[in-house]
Amino acid sequence: MALPNPVVVVPGITASDLSDTYAVTPDAVWTTLLHKNWERIVLHPDDLRYELQEPARVVPTAVFGTPYGAFIEELRHNLTEQHDKPVPVYPFPYDWRQPLELVEQQLDAFVDEVIARTKLMRHYHAAGFDDSPRVNLVGHSMGGLIIAGYLQRRGAAAPVEKVATLGAPFRGSLEAPIKIVTGTASLGPDASANSREREAARLTPALYHLLPSFQGSVVTDAALPNDLYSVDTWQDGVIRTLAEFIRLHGQRRTTKGDRDREARDLLTEMLTIARAHRTRLEQLTLARTTLGGPDGWLCLVGVDATTRVRLRISTKKGSPYFELTDADRCNEWRHPDEKERVATGDGTVPLLGAEPAFLDRKHLVCVRPDDFGYWELKDKALLKATGFHSLLPGLNLAQRLVVSHFRGYATKGVWGRPVPGVSQADWAPPIRGLEMKAS
């Protein structure tokens, strides 16, 4: 088929608007920058599928416009060669609070819907799309984890030809545990924090899917487990918050001791689900999918931004204590101490957290904040406010790299960089003819 595949764009965490559709006229309860009603999006400790405040029915309604609106429009424009033969690019809003396995199932159904709708387009039907329908997938941040989990689960049954991910934390981000503990982190466009946000974060299963698991990400006292998937590694404040939610909203009358045990069980459940998902991602093999191999996956990694690269957990008054210091935030891109373990990242995801198990390092493509062109001054201003990670889809170079990947060759003015430790001779990006840019 001469036409490009239809595309599905999967955004990152918090980047889908949520509305309560229980009201006759749906009521927006979460829009990424303008409206955040924490009380109405927090989940119920007795059943994390549903909201604390009932009756309600909170569902995803739209993808956040900045930067995904411009990104989607650029893909639609640049993948389409003739105006009367548009290439469909679908945003996939989802409930970013829920466990990712549930979202993967929804993505599965959405891909089937996109294929069915594309078959109804005359130019795709005439080009033979019906004979072997495929889609291409794009995932930013947590969206990349959703795509990887979907492909690992479906394997060769997933009708996907190519994938592009931008800043995906395949092995986690240190900002996730910080968000859970403090309520604030560089995970989205808004770094504000309050007690309601902290409480909601602790009852958000998807956040635990972003916990770091790469080597050296967590440094603990000898008495503590060196593992954030263990309930014994977490500060008591997290348990206390969950226990208070159980006291206030749980359906059973329990004693304080019972509530504390239930809170530990609830946290253990969320951690166990997250660990199982991370284990599945580590087992993804591209050869068992319709991608066939590394040439089917463009993995864009943001570097050269000051990023938290480790979390130190000490013991204070007999309990774990997260030490959040600037000493663990750094950027060694220009002066690496070791060739392969450079402490850098995109401001949210460390380089080591962005390296997936299913791709050799030689296939990864790095981009830097300096890749914003002079015509992107607006985005450069936003860069200081929201961070490089959040704006990766708005980077013109990233958009052109994704288009080049889906077209199968490097378009004019497109470049990338290998990760530290990979030479020019060894670098094997999935885009044919991609120029290597000097660091």
Residue 2 placed within a domain: no
- pLDDT value at position 339? 66
**Which element (helix H / strand E) includes 246?**
helix 236-249
Spatial CB neighbours of 17, under 8 Å, sequence gap ≥ 6: 28, 30, 31, 32, 60, 61, 62, 63, 64, 93
- pLDDT value at position 378? 61
Do residues 29 and 18 make contact, with C-beta atoms less than 8 angstroms apart?
Answer: yes
Residue 197 placed within a domain: yes
The DSSP letter of residue 8 is E
Residue 169 placed within a domain: yes
- pLDDT value at position 66? 83
- pLDDT value at position 207? 97
Whole-angstrom CA distances from 248 to 44, 55, 235, 252 are: 11, 17, 21, 10
pTM: 0.95
- pLDDT value at position 380? 64
Domain range for residue 95? 7-436
Residue 1 placed within a domain: no
Residue 19 placed within a domain: yes
Spatial CB neighbours of 187, under 8 Å, sequence gap ≥ 6: 12, 13, 14, 173, 175, 176, 179, 210, 348
pLDDT tens for the chain, residues 1 to 439: 689 999 999 999 999 999 999 999 999 999 976 788 989 999 999 999 999 999 999 999 999 988 899 999 999 999 999 999 999 999 999 999 999 999 999 999 999 999 999 999 999 999 999 999 999 999 999 999 999 999 999 999 999 999 999 999 999 999 999 999 987 655 554 444 567 888 899 999 999 999 999 999 999 998 899 999 999 999 999 999 999 999 999 987 778 889 999 999 999 999 999 999 999 999 999 999 999 999 999 999 999 999 999 999 999 988 999 999 999 999 999 766 556 678 999 999 999 999 999 999 999 999 999 998 766 656 666 667 678 999 999 999 999 999 999 999 999 889 999 999 999 899 999 999 999 987 7
Residue 12 placed within a domain: yes
How many domains, in total, are found in the chain?
1
Residue 391, Cβ neighbours under 10 Å: how many?
25
